[in-house]
A and B are shown apart, each in its own frame.
Chain A
Amino acid sequence: MIEVNALEKSFGAIRAVNKVSFTAPDGKITGLLGPNGAGKSTTLRMLYTALKPDGGQALVDGWDIVKETTAVKTNMGVLTHNAGVYERLTARENIAYFGRLNGMSNKELDFRIDELADMLEMTEFIDRRCKGFSQGQKTKTALARALVHKPKNIILDEPTNGLDVMATRGLRQVINNLKDVGHCVLFSSHIMQEVAVLCDEIVIIAHGVVAASGTPDEIRHSTGQDNLEDAFVQAIGTDEGLL
Chain B
Amino acid sequence: MSQIQIKKPISASKAVWTVFSKEVIDNLRDRRTLTTILFSMLLGPILLLTLMWFAEKKVKDETDLVSAKAIELPVVGADYAPNLMAYLKSNNFEILEAPENPEAAVIDGSRRAILVIEEGFAQALRNGKPAPIRVIHDSSISGLEELAFNQLQMSIRRYSQTIGALRLQARGVSPQTLNVIQFNTSDVATPEARNSQVLNMLPYIVIFSIMMGGMYLAIDTTAGEREKGSLEPLLAQPVDRAQLVLGKWFATCLYSSATFLLVLVSFSVAFKYMPIESVTVTLTAAKVAFIFIACFPFVLVGTSAEIVLASYTKSFKEAQSYMGMVTLIPTLPLMMLILLSPQPDWSNMWIPSFSQGLIMIETVKGEALAPQLVAVSMLTSTLIAGVFVSLSIWLYKRERILG
Contacts and interface: CB of A to CB of B under 8 A. Distances in A.
Interface string A95-109: 001101111000000
A79 B228 CA distance: 14
Secondary structure of the B contact surface, majority rule: loop
Interface string B129-167: 000000000000000000000000000000000000000
Q: Pick the most buried of B3, B232, B402: most chain A CB atoms within 10 A of its CB.
A: B232
Interface in B84-108: none
B6 A75 contact: yes
B180 interface: no
A52 interface: yes
Contacts of B27: 88
A129 B7 CA distance: 29
Contacts of A115: 1-2
A92 interface: no
Given A78-B236, A85-B230, A97-B22, A50 B7 contact: no
Interface string A179-195: 00111000000000000
A84 B228 contact: yes
Nearest to B18: A100
A78 to B, nearest CB: 4
B229 to A, nearest CB: 3
Given A88-B30, A89-B26, A73 B236 contact: yes
B238 interface: yes
Interface string B15-44: 100110010011101100000000000000
B2 to A, nearest CB: 7
A149 interface: yes
A97 B18 CA distance: 7
Given A86-B26, A102-B7, A48 B236 contact: yes
B1 A101 contact: no
B402 A50 contact: yes
A50 B232 CA distance: 8
Contact of B237 (A79, A102, A119): A102
A75 B316 CA distance: 32
B237 A52 contact: no
B228 A87 contact: yes
A145 interface: yes
A48 B26 CA distance: 26
B113 to A, nearest CB: 65
Contacts of B240: 70
A74 B2 contact: no
Contact of A45 (B9, B29, B228, B402): B402
A32 B15 CA distance: 33
Contacts of B236: 48-50, 73, 76, 78, 80
Contacts of A74: 6-9, 238
B10 A102 contact: yes
Interface residues of B, number: 35
A145 B237 CA distance: 10
Contacts, number: 108
Given A83-B233, A88-B30, A103-B9, A182 B399 contact: no
B9 A84 contact: no
A58 to B, nearest CB: 15
Contact of B235 (A50, A75, A182): A50
B233 A101 contact: no
Given A101-B10, A142-B233, A89 B25 contact: yes
A48 to B, nearest CB: 5
A84 B6 contact: no
Interface in A194-229: none
Interface string A47-89: 0111110000000010000000011011110111111111111
B67 interface: no
Interface string B229-247: 1101111111110000000
Given A50-B399, A73-B237, A73-B238, A83 B232 contact: yes
Contacts of B230: 83-86
B370 interface: no
Contacts of A49: 236
A152 interface: yes
A218 B223 CA distance: 46
Nearest to B229: A84
Interface in A17-68: 45, 48-52, 61
14 contacts: A48-B236, A50-B402, A74-B7, A89-B22, A89-B25, A101-B10, A101-B19, A101-B237, A102-B237, A102-B238, A103-B9, A115-B1, A119-B1, A182-B4
Question: 10 nearest interchain CB pairs?
Answer: A84-B229, A103-B10, A84-B228, A73-B238, A78-B236, A84-B230, A88-B29, A80-B232, A74-B238, A101-B237
